Structure 1
């Protein structure tokens, strides 16, 4: 199955009150176990890469591998560039075949954010590429974008409506109290703010910082209108910890097939649990196939 735009996928998810998980991948092998997990649960899925991963693996190479995996597993798959501030990298991803891109201008003024987002929309929307933008500032670290806890700012609902009306952006990531990475304590999610935003903004909303958020909190976010849920750190940690445990218990076992299989199995179980969490299991429908 060829890669598809995430716009109709996420619009249907919001209408049906379920979510779609966007999994950050950091290597070519992780693309296949993410798709394998989705295929086993018959779930649409979004493969997501940071700018750092694009620079390491190459946009064209990533598109070719994700396309091959999507065709092999026959699952509706979108490919998203996450948290990009560089218009040239966005152009590179679009030309390579990405079906979704995020322009992150949330560190700028509202007016500058609108201006930069509109530039990407003018470039990408006519091609059927989904565009995601952010309002407010999600705390934590995403590649080289660092937002300290004291600098994190929640999105203002009326500004979200003004932003969508001004730009026509098809998906919006409002900062609502989550953070990138693993939380030191319980995340302080502002559910009332999500409800206010969803009431006046009719595009699918995106939950950043979905790793280690309690399942019941994510489900509540999805029910309120968060159609896309980003997961990265939990996958990366499970994969790495499985390799570390392998060498701690079997230091002489140096066959990559042995320790990479353990890493794959551990991360794949996390992926499947996240798919079930947002209720996208068995959501592959004829219009996507």
Structure 2
């Protein structure tokens, strides 16, 4: 099966009141853990690549690993650029085989965001690629995205219709209380479902995206802290809130921090218990398994997209 866009995925998700998991990838073990989990529960997938991941792992290597995952699983997989911030970056990913890109112009004034987003949409659509735009700004840090609490802003429902109509985007990322990174909340997030409901009313049938939606699984935070980490009070988005969002207009939920925490916690634990070991297979293997279990949990218990491939 070749790579697919998210168009059909989102249509089915909206009608079925579930969401597709969009998981960030950086290396082979992460890709394997995610795709093996999805295969076991027969779920469609969006594999996200950030600009930082492309720099770290190399675009060609990542694409070949994803091609191998498609061959191994036979799943419908969409490859998506996460938080593209320039036309040039989006164009490079489109020309390099991505089937979806995000252009994040949320740091620009409204008119500039529209102009940049439409430029990307026009090019992407000419190549059969879909585009995610963003309105509103999430606080937090993730790769090159760094937004302070003071600069964060909820999405204004009064702007969404004009933005979608003038840009032609295929999906819209909104800010309703999630945030990037694992050190996000002094308390648990509380999502603004009133904003989501109003956006859904104004854009009926249109796919909405939630970024920064990791739940910061407490067992892995505790594992990291036990074996030398410093993450006191790290919180995320309660999973019941994500399930509710998935039953509404949210068709794509991004998950990255939970994968990083699972991988890091497992490796820290392994070295604490086996300080003399140095074979990377011995610690990356358990880390891959931890990612697989996290992804299966998210697909089945949070997203509801198991059996939907």
Tell me if TM exceeds 0.5: yes
TM range (shorter): over 0.9
2:214 paired with 1:211? yes
Query: Contact conserved, 2:32 with 2:288, CA < 8 A, in 1?
Result: no
Deviation at 1:141, TM superposition (A): 1.0
2:74 paired with 1:74? yes
Query: Contact conserved, 1:131 with 1:171, CA < 8 A, in 2?
Result: yes
Q: What does 1:110-121 correspond to in 2, within 5 Å?
A: 110-121=110-121
Residue 91 of structure 1 is matched in structure 2 by 91
Could you give the per-residue CA deviations for residues 113-171 of structure 1, whole angstroms, max 9, x where no partner exists? 10000000111013221100100101111212211112110011120111011111000
Residue 108 of structure 1 is matched in structure 2 by 108
Distance 2:54 2:89 in 1: 9
Unaligned runs of 5+ in 2: 216-236
Distance 1:15 1:142 in 2: 31
Deviation at 1:192, TM superposition (A): 0.8
For 1:187, which of 186, 189, 192 is the aligned residue? 189
Any runs of at least 4 consecutive aligned residues in structure 1 with deviations exceeding 4 A, and if so which?
A: none
Residue 266 of structure 1 is matched in structure 2 by 290
Distance 1:197 1:11 in 2: 17
Query: Contact conserved, 2:4 with 2:99, CA < 8 A, in 1?
Result: yes
Residue 307 of structure 2 is matched in structure 1 by 282
Distance 2:250 2:126 in 1: 25
The two structures, once aligned, show a CA RMSD in angstroms of 1.1
For 2:268, which of 226, 239, 244 is the aligned residue? 244
Residue 287 of structure 1 is matched in structure 2 by none
Residue 133 of structure 1 is matched in structure 2 by 133
Query: Contact conserved, 2:26 with 2:56, CA < 8 A, in 1?
Result: no
Distance 1:279 1:41 in 2: 10
Distance 2:87 2:279 in 1: 41
Deviation at 1:8, TM superposition (A): 1.7
3-state SS of 2:198 partner: helix
Distance 2:118 2:165 in 1: 11
TM value normalised by structure 2: 0.89
Could you give the per-residue CA deviations for residues 23-57 of structure 1, whole angstroms, max 9, x where no partner exists? 01121221121111100110001100110111222
Query: Contact conserved, 1:206 with 1:226, CA < 8 A, in 2?
Result: yes
TM value normalised by structure 1: 0.95
Deviation at 1:110, TM superposition (A): 0.7
Query: Contact conserved, 1:7 with 1:171, CA < 8 A, in 2?
Result: no
Distance 1:104 1:128 in 2: 19
